[in-house]
């Protein structure tokens, strides 16, 4: 069904999650005014503070409301000193990945014009890769199930299944194909693993190449995770689409965010066959929360990913155009020096950046050529 109006579950969470969500919603208002793409919002609270007050991490109908929405826009949840009785972190976003089977954690690492490059090499301005973090199994399958055998030993077990690896590989090949068509990227999928040491990774690689054989138009390769950590610092501009196991993706996507200016610039999408959740890569950032200083760019770009995904799913060219316009407006705001966020030494806070991007959209400054 073609549609330009969507129902989204808005889950701001806590800490800077609430602040950056405000900026993203201002941008969505501008999108509605300029492109006629409307997002009716159902706000669902939740997180660690909510848990402290109510004993639950989400309202009783919270998961259902998220499930019923066309997409979920998520800020950040979790707080260092509010924990479950066993000492583990409150992380509803992890629960949602498992519950809604959001197997593909898509984390674009793209250099934004005007943001000072972290690497000295002039090619740093060309960084444009995507980490696809498997998000429902791997090492995280052991979450809450690990064993402390006695005071001398503990263990967690990694799980890799054929079904999820096939889905992850298919998703990655399709993503590389689409990026090549739309952005002129090289169309190369590189599996990141540790197949030289662990059987589970050897299995993952075997399944990956079975799927690669069915996608001969896209180049397939592999890289060991330790070498990838090195090469993401040495030559990140050489990579395109990087599927990997959950914990590897957790770690390398923070490294990737570091390459493009910090956590505030990194968007993400958690995609399943039925649902999509969109949130910045960062957490609640208690160290800067409540000051209005958080950089909302990752959150705003996550909203763009949401519109792009909705546009693809529902055949809405307007939603896809709006997504592109958000990305261009971000590039323009930073590239033309209209804003400089606090995390890169500037003075512009959350609201000012949201307003600059929203204004560029409203004025049509970033419409497609």
CB of 257 to ligand ATP, least distance (A): 8
CB of 239 to ligand ATP, least distance (A): 23
Residue nearest to ligand ATP (CB): 283
CB of 96 to ligand ATP, least distance (A): 14
Kind and range of the H or E run holding 352: helix 350-362
Q: Does 282 bind ligand ATP (CB under 6 A)?
A: yes
Q: Which residues of 289-318 are buried (b: 16+ CB within 10 A; e: fewer)?
A: beeebbbbbbbbbbbbbbbbbbbeeeebeb
CB of 341 to ligand ATP, least distance (A): 7
- Using the rule CB under 6 A, give the single segment among 57-65, 164-172, 209-217, 283-291 that binds ligand ATP: 283-291
Q: Does 78 bind ligand ATP (CB under 6 A)?
A: yes
Q: Does 300 bind ligand ATP (CB under 6 A)?
A: no
Q: Does 14 bind ligand ATP (CB under 6 A)?
A: no
Q: Does 16 bind ligand ATP (CB under 6 A)?
A: yes
> Which is nearer to ligand ATP, 29 or 89 (by Cβ)?
89
- Using the rule CB under 6 A, give the single segment among 40-48, 152-160, 240-248, 256-264 that binds ligand ATP: 256-264
Going from the C-alpha of 265 to that of each of 277, 322, 365, the distances in angstroms are: 18, 19, 21
Residue that the structure tokens 């809405």 belong to: 316
Q: Does 303 bind ligand ATP (CB under 6 A)?
A: no
Q: Does 284 bind ligand ATP (CB under 6 A)?
A: yes
123 phi and psi, to 5 degrees?
-70, -10
Q: Does 343 bind ligand ATP (CB under 6 A)?
A: yes
Determine how β-strand 104-110 pairs with β-strand 128-134. Answer: antiparallel
Q: Does 353 bind ligand ATP (CB under 6 A)?
A: no
CB of 91 to ligand ATP, least distance (A): 7
* Residue 159 CA from chain centroid, whole number: 22
> Which is nearer to ligand ATP, 210 or 287 (by Cβ)?
287
Q: Which residues of 257-279 are buried (b: 16+ CB within 10 A; e: fewer)?
A: bbbbbbbbbbbbbbbbeebbbbb
Q: At what angle do helices 225-234 and 246-259 cross, to 10 degrees?
A: 10
Q: Does 165 bind ligand ATP (CB under 6 A)?
A: no
Q: Contact with ligand ATP (CB under 6 A): which of 287, 290, 337, 363?
A: 287
3-state secondary structure 213-258: HCCCCCEEEEEEHHHHHHHHHHCHHHCCEEEECHHHHHHHHHHHHH
> Which is nearer to ligand ATP, 16 or 37 (by Cβ)?
16
Q: Does 139 bind ligand ATP (CB under 6 A)?
A: no
CB 149 within 8 A of CB 258: no
Distance CA 163, CA 45 (A): 33
Q: Contact with ligand ATP (CB under 6 A): which of 17, 283, 311, 349?
A: 283
Going from the C-alpha of 49 to that of each of 36, 154, 321, the distances in angstroms are: 36, 30, 37
> Which is nearer to ligand ATP, 160 or 306 (by Cβ)?
306
Q: Contact with ligand ATP (CB under 6 A): which of 136, 246, 295, 316?
A: 295
Q: Does 270 bind ligand ATP (CB under 6 A)?
A: no
Going from the C-alpha of 39 to that of each of 202, 271, 281, 322, the distances in angstroms are: 43, 19, 22, 12
- Using the rule CB under 6 A, give the single segment among 6-14, 135-143, 154-162, 261-269 that binds ligand ATP: 261-269
3-state secondary structure 86-147: CCCECCHHHHHHHHCCCCEEEEEEECCCCCCCCCCCHHHHHCEEEEEEECCCEHHHHCCCCE
- Using the rule CB under 6 A, give the single segment among 50-58, 209-217, 258-266, 321-329 that binds ligand ATP: 258-266
Q: Contact with ligand ATP (CB under 6 A): which of 218, 288, 305, 321?
A: 288
Q: Does 285 bind ligand ATP (CB under 6 A)?
A: yes
Footprint of ligand ATP (CB under 6 A): 16, 20, 78, 262-264, 282-285, 287-288, 294-295, 343
């Amino acid at each position: 069904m073609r549609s330009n109006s969507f129902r989204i579950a808005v889950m701001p969470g806590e800490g800077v999650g609430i602040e950056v969500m405000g900026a993203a919603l201002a941008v969505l208002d501008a999108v509605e005014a300029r492109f006629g793409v409307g997002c009716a919002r159902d706000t669902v609270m939740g997180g660690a503070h909510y848990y402290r007050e109510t004993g639950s991490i989400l309202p009783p109908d919270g998961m259902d409301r998220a499930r019923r929405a066309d997409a979920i826009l998520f800020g950040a949840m979790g707080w260092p000193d509010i924990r479950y009785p066993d000492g583990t972190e409150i992380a509803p976003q992890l629960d949602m990945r498992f519950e809604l089977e959001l197997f593909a954690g898509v984390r674009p690492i793209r250099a934004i014009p005007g943001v000072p490059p972290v690497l000295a090499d002039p090619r740093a301005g060309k960084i444009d890769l995507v980490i696809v973090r498997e998000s429902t199994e791997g090492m995280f399958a052991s979450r809450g199930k690990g064993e402390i055998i006695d005071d001398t030993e503990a263990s967690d077990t990694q799980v890799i299944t054929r079904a999820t690896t096939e889905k992850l590989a298919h998703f990655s090949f399709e993503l590389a194909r689409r990026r090549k068509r739309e952005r002129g990227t090289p169309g190369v999928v590189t599996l990141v693993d540790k197949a030289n040491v662990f059987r589970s990774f050897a299995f993952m690689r075997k399944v990956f190449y079975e799927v690669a054989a069915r996608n001969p138009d896209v180049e397939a390769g592999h890289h060991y995770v330790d070498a990838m950590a090195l090469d993401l610092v040495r030559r990140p501009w050489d990579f395109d689409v990087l599927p990997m196991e959950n914990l590897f993706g957790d770690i390398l996507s923070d490294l990737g965010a570091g390459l493009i200016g910090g956590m505030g610039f990194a968007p993400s999408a958690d995609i399943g066959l039925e649902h999509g959740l969109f949130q910045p890569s960062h957490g609640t950032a208690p160290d800067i929360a409540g000051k209005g200083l958080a950089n909302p760019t990752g959150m705003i770009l996550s909203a763009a990913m949401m519109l792009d995904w909705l546009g693809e799913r529902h055949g809405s060219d307007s939603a896809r155009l709006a997504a592109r316009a958000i990305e261009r407006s971000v590039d323009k705001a930073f590239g033309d020096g209209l804003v400089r966020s606090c995390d890169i030494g500037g003075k512009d806070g959350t609201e000012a950046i949201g307003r600059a991007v929203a204004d560029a959209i409203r004025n049509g400054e970033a419409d497609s050529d």
